[in-house]
Chains A and B, each alone.
Chain A
Amino acid sequence: MTQAFVARHIRIMLPTLALTVLLLAVFYMQPRAMSYLGLNLLLNLALPIAFATIAQMFVITVNELDLSIGAYVGFVACVGATWLRDDPLLGVAALAGGVLVYAALGALIHLRNLPSIVVTLGMSFVWLGLAILVLPTPGGKAPDWLRAVMTWKTPLLPFTIYASVALAVIVHLGLMRSAYGAVLRGVGGNPRSVERAGWSLLTAKMVMFGLAGLFGVFAGLALVGLTTSGDANIALRYTLLSIAGVILGGGEFTGGRISPIGAVIGAMTLTLAASFLSFLRLDPDWQIGAQGVILIVVLALRILINRTEARAS
């Protein structure tokens, strides 16, 4: 019994542990990173990835997968760098439209019983196409207020860290602690049981996909606020990063087992892993492969822990 208890806590702690180890390794190799500026440089790109990871997590909670989140974040970034600055009303309407399309996709997937992978894979090309229509060549300019928010000099620690903590806590409260959050997670665990208790699965899926759309908007805006200009291809790798972040953070593909705090930590770990490899002066050709190795090591550790847990209980 105690062994199972310990194992479960290690599983919860694992994402934090991975992040700490990476952070210490980076500090060891580059002590100058241990400063306000250093941390900011290391982690500022983590915030958009964290938003995208949370968006992906909402979809994974209800046993679906979103392969369009990267293209969608790119679309939002393009809208952010053009319409949102030139014609805020049009920009806000376009972004709200994106969220509504996401909710509608959730409804479509549920009602027609379609595989979300296929639907979202198709949608990724739609978003990419729309992004290119909005901004045919890289460029544009982020609205000044967005720029101001993202470069806000907060006391003690960089803005990214405060924002990530707030993101993790708010989503944790909403999904893990609130009464309707339990229902939403229940949809991932046993949809039939939730339906029999009188809840609407359609609503739940629409809410989760809509939230994914909303957090995708946050990811795109955060990204364009940091980079100041847009590009349709700017976030294509977010699709896989966001999935990796959810899993790294202790979530599972099916069964509604997710952890918002873990997902944010997972996103930060992935960002740090990239910096860590740069500090190692690793040939950029090898970096993606090395990032994969880090992922595999952490996931292997988790499987090991799950086994101990199963054996102990």
Chain B
Amino acid sequence: MSQPQTDPILVHLDGVAKSFGAVQALARVSFDIPQGACIGLVGHNGAGKSTLMHILAGSLTAGSGRIVVEGVDLTDRYGIATANAHGIRCVFQELSLCPNLSVAENARILHPSLKGWGWRKRAATLIRDRLDAVFPQHGIDPDAIVGDLSIARRQMVEIARAFSISDRPVKLVILDEPTSSLDAVLAGQLLAYVRRFVAEGGSVVLISHLLGEVLSTADRIVVMRDGKIVAEREAGAFTRTSLVECMGSMVQAEEGAGTPTKRLGDIPVVSAAPATRSATLPGGTSLLAHRGEIVGLAGLGGHGQTDMLMRIFDGAARPIPGVAVDGKVAIVAGDRQTDGVFPLWSIADNMTIASLGQMARRWLIDSRAEQGMAEDWRRRIGIRTDDVDMPILSLSGGNQQKVLFARALGSSATIILMDDPMRGVDIGTKQEVYAMLRAEAAKGRTFLWYTTEMDELKHCDHVYVFRDGRIVTDLARSELTEERVLQSSFEAAA
């Protein structure tokens, strides 16, 4: 700790360690969060970022080490209440609002001082002011029920809530993948607000897999790997490549993505026209996909890509006008918690659920075949567990997602629909999955891939850009550039 410290230290972590059973999630981590600074925290899933964050938020207790906040050693009594009292707030990766309450009522949950006569009005003003400050023209009504809002708006509310001030101060806000559900415009507004907040003396810990975000927003970047801090430097001292190198993932430069897959056969296996909301607008282009192709669905979040995938999924089961699907369909869900995993089941059960039909013997499940398939896919897709009979929740998020991929790829489906499945997955896992997708496509499977990440589109043979529920542009691999996708996504707004 010989670095010159110009800013006073808000939080000082000294040798903080935490293990879950035999797994060492955090190994003696020490670092400082100065006042008026944004610290970027990057690393793989399972590198210990989330554990560190939960310890800071007080929802996990450190196994050993010291936590010093504003010069006071709080190690012994550090908990949720202490963290709150010292103005440490957290926006968790999984959304943590109460869906049955209104936006204003959710603000009240965080602020015990909002009570007595007129608390509803004060809560509404508090959250509206903060939303106005972070996301100008957000269009969110404080009386709206959170469950009725889109996922992006819920995230906006949660972020605004974390920054809101009542009698409780806000000194440090920890943002865990805050932009995962936000489109480019909203993400930009948030990052700009983070800079303003920091300029006014607040502190932010920004955890993100989007390295560009971290590089442009953070003052310092802390890189974690295997529960340890492996690098800590000024943001300017990092480049995208050096960051990735520090994380130690096996990512090579992006060029590897460019190998095209071969279209097998000329008759499309999927052809689907978007559902038009009004009769006056033409439906736009139809989506076509051939055997062996990886087709990308791009555009801003929530512009009809998921609806399209669901239409195709339904179209495989029963006739739907405008949709023709030739083959069995499987889907890889993006929202793991609600659409993906069976949280109480084992890894093996989660993996084999789509293939039980083939494994049944005289109406009973052949448990040996089930076990065999689970073991086989554990090896093939590299799921980090010793035992496929462990509960699915024992895996990290990225590995849970791999199980969902194994579920789809292990089934007999020839058409795989992917609903932004890489949300919050680390780069190493991504690379492994990309390679597997290309291998499977070469064998004749078709992939329809909705993604919000530009880099992933580079793996696609064909990209359809969606806007307002319609396909506005249709780009072949050779025509694909980030500018063109962005242009098409925003045309109407300009």
Contact = CB atoms under 8 A, between A and B. Distances in A.
Nearest to B119: A179
B487 interface: no
Contacts, number: 65
A192 B120 CA distance: 23
B98 A185 contact: yes
B463 to A, nearest CB: 28
B465 interface: no
A180 B100 contact: no
B100 A257 contact: yes
A194 B115 contact: no
Given A185-B100, A196-B90, A179 B114 contact: yes
B479 interface: no
Given A180-B115, A182-B105, A313-B148, A197 B110 contact: yes
A186 B99 CA distance: 8
A253 interface: no
Nearest to A183: B109
A255 interface: yes
Nearest to A254: B100
A199 B108 CA distance: 11
Main secondary structure of the interface of A (DSSP, over half): helix
A195 interface: yes
A255 B97 contact: no
Given A193-B109, A194-B109, A198-B84, A182 B59 contact: no
How many chain A residues sit at the interface, stated as a range, is 20 to 34
B80 interface: yes
B179 interface: no
B120 A193 contact: no
Nearest to B113: A179
Contacts of A197: 80, 84, 109-110
Contacts of B116: 179
A63 to B, nearest CB: 11
Nearest to A195: B80
Interface in A157-216: 177, 179-180, 182-183, 185-186, 188-190, 192-199
Contacts of A177: 120
B4 interface: no
A255 B100 CA distance: 7
Contacts of B100: 185-186, 188-189, 255-257
A131 B101 CA distance: 39
Contacts of A196: 57, 59, 80, 90, 92, 96
B101 A189 contact: yes
Contacts of B96: 190, 192-193, 196
B454 interface: no
Contacts of B90: 196
Contacts of A183: 108-109
Contacts of A185: 98, 100-101, 105
Interface in B94-146: 96-101, 105-106, 108-110, 112, 114-116, 119-120
B435 interface: no
A198 B81 contact: yes
Interface string B69-101: 000000000001100100000101000111111
A188 B105 CA distance: 13
Nearest to B108: A182
Contacts of B105: 182, 185-186
B50 to A, nearest CB: 14
Contacts of A313: 148
Most A CB within 10 A of own CB, among B92, B106, B109: B109
Interface in A224-263: 255-257
B110 to A, nearest CB: 5
Most B CB within 10 A of own CB, among A177, A196, A255, A257: A196
A208 to B, nearest CB: 15
A255 B80 contact: no
Nearest to B98: A189
Given A177-B120, A182-B108, A194 B98 contact: yes
A196 B176 CA distance: 15
Contacts of A4: 148
Contacts of A256: 98, 100-101
B338 to A, nearest CB: 13
Interface in A249-299: 255-257
Nearest to B90: A196
A189 to B, nearest CB: 3
B84 A182 contact: no
Contact of A255 (B84, B99, B109, B114): B99
Contacts of A180: 115
A203 to B, nearest CB: 13
Interface in A1-20: 4
A199 B120 contact: no
A179 B109 CA distance: 9
Most B CB within 10 A of own CB, among A4, A179, A194, A195: A179
A257 B108 CA distance: 17
Nearest to A61: B100
A182 B80 contact: no
B428 to A, nearest CB: 29
Given A177-B120, A196-B59, A313-B148, A190 B97 contact: yes
A194 B105 CA distance: 11
Nearest to B112: A198
Contacts of A186: 98, 100-101, 105-106, 109
A199 B84 CA distance: 11
A38 to B, nearest CB: 39
A186 B112 CA distance: 13
A197 to B, nearest CB: 5
B121 to A, nearest CB: 12
A180 B120 CA distance: 12
A11 to B, nearest CB: 12
Given A179-B108, A185-B105, A198-B80, 12 more contacts: A179-B116, A182-B105, A182-B109, A183-B108, A183-B109, A189-B101, A190-B97, A190-B99, A192-B96, A196-B80, A198-B81, A255-B100
Interface of B: 57, 59, 80-81, 84, 90, 92, 96-101, 105-106, 108-110, 112, 114-116, 119-120, 147-148
29 contacts: A179-B114, A179-B115, A180-B115, A182-B101, A182-B105, A185-B100, A185-B101, A186-B100, A186-B105, A188-B98, A189-B98, A189-B101, A190-B96, A190-B98, A193-B97, A193-B98, A194-B98, A196-B57, A196-B59, A196-B92, A196-B96, A197-B109, A197-B110, A198-B81, A198-B84, A198-B112, A199-B109, A255-B99, A257-B100
